[in-house]
Amino acid sequence: MKYLQEELKNELIRLLKADFKLEPGEIQFSIPPKREFGDLSTTLPFVLAKKEKQKPFAIGNRIIEIIKDRFDMFSEIKLAGGGFLNFTFKENFLVNYLAVNIHRQAPAMGLKMVVEHTSINPNKSAHIGHLRNACLGDALANALRFLGYEVEIQNYLDDTGIQVADVVWGLLYHEAKSFEEITKIDKLAAYLWRLYPEVSRLFAENEKAKAGRDEVHKKIEEKINPEYQVSNYIAEEVLKDHIRVMNILGIRYDLLVRESDVIELDFFKESRALMEAKGVMYPSQDPEKKGCLVIKYEKENIEKIIVRSNNTITYIGKDIAYTLWKVGLFDRDFYYRAFYTYPGDGKEIYITDYTPHTPPGAPYRFGGGESVFNVIDVRQSYLQNIIAQVLVPLSPPDHRKKFIHFAYEMVALTPRCVEEMGFELSEEDRKKSYVEVSGRKGIAVKADDLMDKLVEKSLCEVKLRHPEIDGENARAIAGDISVGALRYFMIKFNANTVIAFDFKDALAFEGDTGPYLQYTLVRINSILRKLKEAGDSDSLEPGSLDSSVLDKKEYDIFYDILLDLSLVELQVELALSQQELSGIANYTYSLCQKFNHFYHLFPIIAEKDIRIKNLRLLLTLAVKANLGKLFSIMGIPIPAKM
């Protein structure tokens, strides 16, 4: 429907331009709440009434006089509600239009979007909280690709942060390990998972240990070995583990950006020049900020320090510099090297560096996005708002760059889930609706352990339903179900809602879950396979479909689903504009419910009337095509069986 609406919008502008001054953005369409009002509606008469200083109804009648008999697709164009312009398609138009356009792809937009997500501290294994960020970020990137944008996925690494220094101190001074011994630790990320809360408790209780950690941090920043050597090794090995875990979920990256390279290559020098030239950053006149360079944060009418009086840069300054590079506002660039090759297709991830490498660089230019999406939790909103404000005056007036903070709330666990993972719970915690997790305190679930438990539970269900399937195939199906369950669970809730993960809720085969969605598509594949086996065609000849052969009950349900199917691109656009991917999940769930209800009432294979059978086949093929697109956006795999 998106492309049909675009065609209609362009034709309306062409027909009305002699009588009205129109901008494309002024024509917006919606689906009327009731079928009696038509199939499409626009508020254009209200928009033009303000310009023309006339009543919307009068404007609407003028529009109808101009456009009547100019559209073959409509049986009726009429006004309702004082100025709503409603269009009704001819009886078989939408059916045959859908048959022709089932597999239509979005045209290339010619615009590049940079999505930054995951960005886990490289000091231990990933945990369940990180999975919500990665699942949302990957779905966001997939949605942008679906709409025709070029997308670059970046993962930012705080490789010089205090959290890395924590575990470097723990290995070198608490456990007295040499660099050689550290390199021999099996499953280093999991090892550090156990070490990190241990040293965190020591720092809280022992000032000498904390001072030692601070000294280690200083040596890392100054590139003094063995601290610097160990920190680099830890960061890269832990990062490889994060990449491995995310790849199980189908989540991949194009570029890994190290904070140390942003600092070493002095990206802030370029951003400082830009901000000072535009008057965005200036010397503070506040005596308490004497010698500091600041920006004015308009939202709170306060000055934020970017460069301290000792000429050191605050964390805000580093993040601003990185953002300005991401949107291509200066020419300075990183050096690059290939870091990791994905198994299977051989796709490479590149990582930034501050020195040239052989072979040099990357095969294409990174950064330079039209817009930047930062997927970071709500606790970082303050900093993200400052960056968004800074970017506005620095962008060329005729080519504004956009910065979007894609915020979300934390992930917790239900008490039942905590106990299933083997943690002890107090009586007080058992009464809570959810239990918060903390890697620092050691009350958290590794992403690896969570996935293993999901696969274990899914495998039990697969074996129960399909005892004939051999172990390897059963485990592959269980893996697909586990990924679908987890990824859907992380997307389906409103982003500003704290979610409490629960195995039973996520893995249910009925209700608003990933497995229910997968069941619907597996069911459709089974229907189409049986049609082929019976010698029936699973393709359609456009123009040959006549929905008048359906009785009223079937027609109403059939047409309602057709209209739903026509909205897929618009639903994805709406989810992005509202920064709420749960809208895509909700739309998908509703579509699955409607199709399953339809199929329960109106089977395909047993239908004798070929005309009715073809209409039901059209609906099935269209639902399959749309679910395939939506699953791809959400990262939900399609199991062989359910």
- Residue 427 pLDDT grade (very low, low, confident, very high; cuts 50, 70, 90): confident
Q: Same fold for the domain at 2-90 and the one at 514-634?
A: no
Task: Identify the CATH assignment for 2-90 out of 2.60.40.10, 3.40.50.10860, 3.30.1360.70, 1.10.3720.10.
Answer: 3.30.1360.70
- Residue 538 pLDDT grade (very low, low, confident, very high; cuts 50, 70, 90): low
Beta-bridge mates of residue 411 = 499
The Cα 498–Cα 493 span in angstroms is 9
* 514-634 is a CATH 2.60.40.10 domain: no
Proportion of the chain in helix, strand, coil states, percent, rounded to 5: 55, 15, 35
The Cα 634–Cα 83 span in angstroms is 39
Per-residue DSSP letters for 357-398?
-SS-S-SS-----SEEEEE--GGGHHHHHHHHHHHHHHS-TT
Read off the amino acid at residue 18.
A
Nearest to 335 by CA among 266, 261, 253, 228: 261
pLDDT of res. 543: 56
pLDDT of res. 440: 57
Q: From residue 232, how far is each of 209, 238, 240, 508 by CA, in Å? A: 22, 10, 12, 43
Q: What digits encode the pLDDT tens for the residues 607-631?
A: 999 999 999 999 999 999 999 999 9
Q: Helix crossing, 582-601 with 610-634: angle to 10°?
A: 160
Q: E strands, 239-288, where?
A: 255-258, 281-283
The Cα 141–Cα 372 span in angstroms is 11
Contact 209, 203 (CB under 8 A): yes
pLDDT of res. 532: 86
Q: What digits encode the pLDDT tens for the residues 579-608?
A: 999 999 999 999 999 999 999 999 999 999
Per-residue DSSP letters for 82-121?
TTEEEEEE-TTHHHHHHHHHTT--PPP---EEEEE-----
Asked whether the predicted pLDDT for residue 144 surpasses 90, the reply is: yes
- Residue 539 pLDDT grade (very low, low, confident, very high; cuts 50, 70, 90): low
Mean pLDDT of 130-134: 96
Q: Enumerate the H helices of 147-226 as residue ranges.
A: 162-169, 179-183, 188-205, 207-221
Question: pLDDT exceeding 70 applies to what percent of the chain?
Answer: 97
Nearest to 203 by CA among 211, 195, 193, 191: 211
Asked whether the predicted pLDDT for residue 318 surpasses 80, the reply is: yes
For the beta carbon of residue 241, count every other beta carbon within 10 angstroms. Answer: 21
Number of alpha carbons in the 13 Å side-chain half-sphere of residue 165: 20
The Cα 362–Cα 347 span in angstroms is 13
Q: Helix crossing, 44-52 with 56-67: angle to 10°?
A: 110
Contact 26, 44 (CB under 8 A): yes
- Residue 542 pLDDT grade (very low, low, confident, very high; cuts 50, 70, 90): low
DSSP state of 41: E
| Residue scoring higher pLDDT (170 or 3) | 170
pLDDT of res. 420: 84
Asked whether the predicted pLDDT for residue 473 surpasses 60, the reply is: yes
Mean pLDDT of 292-319: 94
Asked whether the predicted pLDDT for residue 577 surpasses 90, the reply is: yes
pLDDT of res. 545: 81
The Cα 74–Cα 357 span in angstroms is 62
Sequence-separated (6 or more) residues with CB below 8 Å from residue 398? none
Query: Domain-by-domain residue ranges, the chain?
Result: 2-90, 413-507, 514-634
The per-residue pLDDT of the chain, averaged, comes to 92
Q: What digits encode the pLDDT tens for the residues 367-387?
A: 999 999 999 999 999 999 999
Contact 390, 296 (CB under 8 A): no
Nearest to 122 by CA among 14, 15, 227, 240: 240
- Residue 238 pLDDT grade (very low, low, confident, very high; cuts 50, 70, 90): very high
- Residue 430 pLDDT grade (very low, low, confident, very high; cuts 50, 70, 90): confident
Mean pLDDT of 286-315: 94
